[in-house]
Structure 1
């Protein structure tokens, strides 16, 4: 692929640029936008994808900043690179000059490939680069520094010192707010964030009425969207083909079964089930679960007044991840679990998901492993997956879990 520079114009799409300092609630807003059918694109994750898998980007970074920043497998050690560029403003500018053209290329491809009329691009440095020029509106999230630190300690497991250091290293929030069309304050409960989001969403213009937007892109090496490892690829195709032939379980739906997205009013019941299903090993506080609601959806299976199944899931980069499973054994476990999983798969399909990955807790391998296998899921070694799927799994897999996948769309496996 050449380094050709060209412009790409997007018509009949409303493009929103979402930014904000670290831990100010951007993920929550992205999650809400995805639920409304938007094509959500995380530019910062694209940077990670390029550093992990684009050989031209990797080589350029190694030449500019030294071979020590490259791992044995060729990927970039972001910690070592960060130690260089975050202490040298000029070095950071050099890095961005290498990365940003490739990021714009991938963003443009993802906008073009989706039929969604509304696009949300999240980037922490959105306002400093050219991506802002492709946006009809700029949305900024904000909250107090105390709230930022709480989120970093709970959601990322950082200690207070590291959290404070990262928050203090960010530019003043006021700089972003001054350039915003919409400001969403996430300092309160999730319900408050949702209210602000839906008010802004309701005021969006119709896609057919907005002016076309143009993005200048330069093709720096191969786009990540076209990379797939050759080794093992045919084996993966075979595994997918075999799995697709599995006749899924036919479970009569129990009378009175409700399958729905969890609401804040369900929190007491959810917390109780989490404790029961794990024999008291998982004990979350209400505030922690509310915060988790901004990172993923919880789909519950309820018979009568009793919730017996909870699956927590999210979707990003067209990969749906079921990363939390709480199941209370009963005579109706399988039909309830089947109905909940079906709801998630249907939602993933609506969001043009390519794959669903289930992280099976090692202490529940027996029942859950067998269940997912009968639903067409199979174990897989990460190194035979397309790179973008590998990255999605590596970035989200909880500890002490096994990976099982079900491919919803196999077009990526047939790309050259």
Structure 2
């Protein structure tokens, strides 16, 4: 059995997407993570890595032939054209791999975790959009403590993504993630119940859900 409902899970950086995705995994839902796909397609020997080397130079490749992610990140957040060039290399390959993995998912419905779901033009890969939302101040606080970066870089990283307004306008469902992580499992379970009914055809429409965390 392949999934007949694909839910796109998106949200800003450090909004808590991974925590929410893990909650769905514990409920038996197949979760496909675009960030993991992005890592896979730049492994040594992959065509995308060679294209990145040609565009950005040998300095972004380490002595083991692996991508220096931090160095590349610093380049693209200071140069909009560089970021667009990287996206042109990565996004078509990510899209193709996500489509393949979602076709092969086995749970009643599956989750595609895609941070740039709207801006990257991958919205058509999903049937429904779940946004994990957090105020920018919360994102900055989490980023600076989690990634050991300064506030300036944190805000550049946030600005490079879909805007909060853009995500919320596209959302079918919103999960507000500002509270303790222990609350997320209960919120995910509530969403799971609705998605399962929709996937099984028990309902042909599901009202939008807006869940405070």
The reply to whether residue 129 of structure 1 matches residue 117 of structure 2 is no
Q: Assess, with a 3 A threshold, how the Cα gap between structure 1 residues 11 and 34 changes in structure 2: closer, same or farther.
A: closer
Find the partner of 2:136 among 128, 135, 145: 145
In structure 1, the residue matched to 2:86 is: 95
Find the partner of 2:179 among 178, 181, 188: 188
In structure 2, the residue matched to 1:173 is: 164
Find the partner of 1:158 among 142, 148, 153: 148
1:103-127 per-position Cα deviation (integer Å, ceiling 9, x unaligned): 1232233223331222111121111
Q: Assess, with a 3 A threshold, how the Cα gap between structure 1 residues 164 and 89 changes in structure 2: closer, same or farther.
A: closer
**Aligned residues: CA RMSD:** 2.6
8 Å contact kept, 1:39–1:119: yes
CA distance in 2, matches of 1:107, 1:191: 29
In structure 2, the residue matched to 1:206 is: 198
CA distance in 1, matches of 2:44, 2:158: 28
Q: Identify the structure with bigger relative contact order (alpha carbons < 8 Å, sequence gap 6+).
A: 2
Q: Assess, with a 3 A threshold, how the Cα gap between structure 1 residues 114 and 151 changes in structure 2: closer, same or farther.
A: same
Name which one, 1 or 2, has greater alpha-carbon Rg: 1
CA distance in 1, matches of 2:51, 2:71: 15
Q: Where do 5+ consecutive residues of structure 2 fail to align? A: 205-213
Find the partner of 2:49 among 47, 55, 58: 58
Q: TM-score, normalised by structure 2?
A: 0.80
CA distance in 1, matches of 2:171, 2:116: 13
Secondary structure at the aligned position of 2:90 is classed as: helix
Q: TM-score, normalised by structure 1?
A: 0.43
8 Å contact kept, 2:143–2:154: no
Displacement, 1:165? 3.4
More helix per residue: 1 or 2?
A: 2
More strand per residue: 1 or 2?
A: 1
Secondary structure at the aligned position of 1:104 is classed as: helix
1:2-401 alignment, distance < 5 Å: 12-152=3-143, 156=146, 158=148, 162-163=150-151, 165-167=153-155, 169-171=157-159, 172-204=163-195, 205-207=197-199, 209=201
- Provide the aligned length of Structure 1 versus Structure 2: 199
Secondary structure at the aligned position of 2:41 is classed as: helix
Displacement, 1:193? 3.1
Q: Where do 5+ consecutive residues of structure 1 fail to align? A: 1-9, 212-416
